[in-house]
């Protein structure tokens, strides 16, 4: 049987929605089939095991959440300043809210990795790559600050996204925007 790449992507996108809505326990082949609107048994034809589905899902979520390279380049062209960094962090929040399900699925994958030692290295590898890319973009890109600046900014923004995406009414959009400004002002040195 020839495997259709578009169908595989459809199943992975459906898996994101299931994971975000139902959590790890709800991520079954049947739930994925129903969410994707495909015949029963389709997901199990594409993924030999649930572990394979989760492995591919982890990679897919990071791919889905990656910013458009052209838009990222245009935003980076504004200069390597604290203000540009602030704008990039606001853009991160906007993108997270635009694809809330993918971010919630990412949180679920983190939790799944704490319970599944087989999955932990793969999920950790994706997060490590994400942090390494952010560090390289910041440090090698000439933004003010160093590797520790990126780490603190990464951890602060991860925590803020967790709060805002899981409980959007706790702070509200305006307060989140103000917190982003405060985090960047506190963490990223002023531009020369």
Q: What is the pLDDT of residues 115-163, one digit of tens each?
A: 989 889 988 998 999 899 999 988 988 899 999 999 999 999 999 999 9
Q: What is the pLDDT of residue 2?
A: 43
Q: What is the pLDDT of residue 1?
A: 43
Q: What is the pLDDT of residue 79?
A: 86
Domain ranges of the chain: 5-57, 66-187
* Mean per-residue pLDDT, 52-80: 91
Fold that domain 5-57 belongs to in CATH: Arc Repressor Mutant, subunit A (1.10.10)
Q: What is the pLDDT of residue 23?
A: 94
Burial of 77 (0-12, 13-18, 19+ CB in 10 A): exposed
| Alpha-carbon gap, residue 106 to 89, rounded angstroms | 18
Q: What is the pLDDT of residue 63?
A: 92
Q: What is the pLDDT of residue 94?
A: 95
Q: What is the pLDDT of residue 39?
A: 97
Q: What is the pLDDT of residue 73?
A: 87
Q: Which of 22-36, 120-134, 173-187 has the lowest mean pLDDT?
A: 120-134
pTM of the model: 0.88
66-187: in CATH 1.10.357.10: yes
| Alpha-carbon gap, residue 151 to 62, rounded angstroms | 19
- Report the mean per-residue pLDDT for the chain: 93
Q: What is the pLDDT of residues 80-118, one digit of tens each?
A: 999 999 999 999 999 999 999 999 999 999 999 999 898
CA atoms within 13 A on the CB side of 94: 7
Q: What is the pLDDT of residue 3?
A: 60
CA angle 131, 187, 127 (to 5 degrees): 10
């Amino acid at each position: 049987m020839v495997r259709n790449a578009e169908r595989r992507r459809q199943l992975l996108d459906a898996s994101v929605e299931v994971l975000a809505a139902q959590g790890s326990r709800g991520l079954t082949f049947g739930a994925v089939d129903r969410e994707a609107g495909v015949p029963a048994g389709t997901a199990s034809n594409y993924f030999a095991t649930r572990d394979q589905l989760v492995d591919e899902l982890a990679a897919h979520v990071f791919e889905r959440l990656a910013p458009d390279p052209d838009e990222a380049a245009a935003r980076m062209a504004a200069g390597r300043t604290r203000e540009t960094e602030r704008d990039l962090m606001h853009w991160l929040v906007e993108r997270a809210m635009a694809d809330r399900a993918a971010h919630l699925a990412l949180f679920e994958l983190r939790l799944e990795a704490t319970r599944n030692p087989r999955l932990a290295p793969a999920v950790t590898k994706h997060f490590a790559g994400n942090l390494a890319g952010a560090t390289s973009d910041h440090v090698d890109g000439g933004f003010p600050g160093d590797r520790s600046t990126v780490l603190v900014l990464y951890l602060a923004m991860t925590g803020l996204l967790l709060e805002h995406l899981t409980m959007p009414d706790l702070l509200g959009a305006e307060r989140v925007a103000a917190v982003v400004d405060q985090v960047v002002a506190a963490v990223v040195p002023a531009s020369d």
